A and B are shown apart, each in its own frame.
Chain A
Amino acid sequence: MEYRSFVDIYTEWDIVAARQLGRNEAKNSGFGTVDQARITTAISELARNIYLYAGKGRLEIERLSENGLHGIRIIASDEGPGIQDMRKVMEDGYSTSGGLGAGMPGVKRLMDGFKVDTEPGVGTTITATKWLR
C-alpha cells in the first residue's frame, strides 16, 4: 500500500505548507539533509508555478517502494493554461513572469525522474521522483 498525502495550493502560504509536508516525508523516508533540501526546493518550485501560472492546484507527495528501492514522488497538478512551448520552458533563463527562469530545468536537475504532461487550455501535471540511495 502506497502512502500519499497532499496540499491544495491556493495562496502563497500553501507553498510553505507543501514544503513542510515534503520535508517531513523526505525525513521520514530516510533522506539525508542534502536530499531533503533538494526535495523541498523542488516542491517549492513546482508549488510556486501552480500558484503563479494556474492560480490553484494540488501538490501530492507519495512514498515509493519498488523492487527494494525506496523514494518519493512529487505530483503537481493543475487545471491552468498549460505550457505552450515545452522546449523553451526547459531552457535555462526562460521565464514569462520576470523570474530567473531556472525553476523547471532546476527541478529536473534536483530530482532523479521528471515528467511533464501538459495540454494548452486543459492543465499540467508534473511528476518528479527521487530515489533513496
Chain B
Amino acid sequence: MNKQMIKCINENMDEIIEKWQAMMKNEKGERFFHFMPENLVEKTSREFAELMTTNIAENNIINAEKLTDFASKVVRFGWSIKFVNKAIDNFSNITFDLLEEKEIIHHDNVRLFHGTFANWISPLRETIIEAYSVEWERTVNLQKIALQELSASLIPVFEKISVMPLVGTIDTERAKLIMENLLEGVVKQRAEVVLLDITGVPVVDTMVAHHIIQAADAVRLVGSKCMLVGIRPEIAQTIVALGINLQDFTTTSTLQKGMKEALELTNRTIVEVK
C-alpha cells in the first residue's frame, strides 16, 4: 500500500507541484513568490517537493544536510515561518486529494492513510521548522557580531588626539564595549585628548548620558581629557530638560570645532599654507 502511494506521488509529481504553486501564490498577505524570478520558484518548488517525499520511501530518514541547505535558502529568500508551515500543509493536502482521486485512498482505508500521513508529515514539519529556526538564530547572531564589529573603535587622528565616533543605539552591552575600547585605545595610542562624537546617536537619554559620563571619568583617571562633540541642537535641549550635568566636559556642536579645541589643548593650531 505504501509502495502504491509512493509510486503514485512520483508519477504525478508535476501535477502536485503545479497545484501547490498555484495554491501558494494565492496565499493571502504572503507574497513571497511574487518577488522571486520564475525559474527560481520552479527550482525551489522542486527542491521542496523532493525534500517532502524523501522520507516516505525510507522510513523517517531525513537527509539532514539537504534540509539545512533548504532551510538556509528559505531564510535567505525571506519566507516567513508561517509561509513555510502553510507550504507543508498545502503539500500534504494536495497529495491526499490526489491519492483520493486516483482511488488509492478510498472509503475503507482512509483511516489508515490518516495515520500514514501523520507519520510522514509530522516529523518533516518538526525538522523543517527546527532547521528554519536554527538558521534564523544563526542569521541574527551573525548580525549581532557584525554590529559589534562596527561599533566603537578609537581612531588616532593626530599625535595625542583620538576620536571615537559613536553611531546608533547605545545599549548596556555596547556601553561596556565603548568603555573598554576607549580606555584600551587611550593608553595604547598615548592620546592626551579624546573626542567622543555622538552625531550618530539618535537618542541621548539618562542612561546614555550616564555611560558617557562614566567613560569620561575613566578617561580622566588614566590621565587624558575627554571631550563630547557632535551635540545636535535638539539633543542639547533634551539634555537640558533632563537636567543632566555635563559641566565637567568640554562640549562642542561639531567634531570640527572639537578638533580645533583639542589642538589648542595640545599647543598646536592649524595653519593655512600659501
Contact = CB atoms under 8 A, between A and B. Distances in A.
B171 to A, nearest CB: 5
Interface stretch (A68-76, A79-87, A103-111, A119-127): A103-111
A34 B234 contact: yes
Interface of A: 12-13, 16, 19, 23, 33-34, 36-38, 40-41, 44-45, 48, 92, 99-103, 105-106, 109-110
B171 A44 contact: no
B79 to A, nearest CB: 23
Interface string B73-115: 0000000000000000000000000000000000000000000
Interface of B: 169, 171-172, 202-207, 209-210, 213, 233-235, 237-238, 241-244
Given A34-B234, A99-B210, A106-B241, 12 more contacts: A34-B237, A36-B234, A37-B235, A38-B234, A41-B203, A41-B204, A41-B238, A41-B242, A44-B203, A44-B207, A48-B205, A100-B209
A92 B241 CA distance: 11
A110 B205 CA distance: 11
B242 A109 contact: yes
Given A34-B233, A100-B210, A102-B244, A45 B238 contact: no
A109 B241 contact: yes
Nearest to A110: B241
A12 B237 contact: no
A33 B243 CA distance: 20
Minimum-distance CB pairs A-B, first 10: A106-B242, A37-B234, A44-B205, A34-B234, A109-B241, A41-B238, A100-B206, A102-B206, A110-B241, A102-B242
B203 A37 contact: yes
A109 B243 contact: yes
The B interface is mostly helix, strand or loop, or mixed, namely helix
A34 B235 CA distance: 8
B115 to A, nearest CB: 41
B151 to A, nearest CB: 14
Nearest to A46: B205
B206 A45 contact: yes
Contacts of B207: 44, 48, 99
Given A34-B237, A38-B238, A105 B210 contact: no
A38 B241 contact: yes
Given A16-B169, A34-B233, A38-B237, A106 B203 contact: no
A48 B238 CA distance: 17
A103 B206 contact: yes
A110 B202 contact: no
B205 A45 contact: yes
A15 B210 CA distance: 17
A16 B207 CA distance: 13
Contacts of B202: 19, 23, 40
